[in-house]
Amino acid sequence: MQLLAALHKELLLQWRTKAQLLAIFIFGASSLLLFSFAVGPDSSALRQHAAGFLWLGLMLSSTLTLAESFQSEMEQRALEGLLLLPAGARALYYGKAISNWTQLTLLGIGLIPLMVVLYDTPMPRPFALLGVIMAGAAGLSAPGTLYAAMTSQARAKQTLLPLLLFPLVVPVLLSAVKATSLLILGDPMGQVRDWVLLLLCFDAIHWSLCGFLFDRVVED
Q: Residue 115 contacts by C-beta under 8 Å, 6 or more apart in sequence?
A: 32, 50, 53, 54, 121
pLDDT tens digit sequence for 126-174: 899 999 999 999 999 999 888 888 877 766 667 788 888 888 899 999 9
Give the count of domains, the chain: 1
Global pTM value = 0.85
Integer Cα distance of 106 and 6 in angstroms = 20
pLDDT tens digit sequence for 89-138: 777 888 888 888 988 998 999 999 998 888 888 877 889 999 999 999 99
The residue type of 148 is A
**Hey, is 91 helix, strand or coil?**
helix
pLDDT tens digit sequence for 14-37: 666 666 778 888 888 898 888 888
pLDDT of 40 strictly over 80? no
Distance of CA 191 to the CA centre of its chain: 23
User: How confident is the prediction for the chain on average, in pLDDT?
Assistant: 81
Phi-psi region of 186 (alpha: psi -120 to 50; beta: other; left: phi over 0): left
Report which of residues 3 and 209 the model is more confident about.
209
DSSP readout, 126-137? HHHHHHHHHHHH
The pLDDT-based confidence of 73 (bands split at 50, 70, 90) is low
Structural domain for 81, as ranges: 2-219
Residue 23's pLDDT is 81
Mean pLDDT (whole number) for 173-192: 88
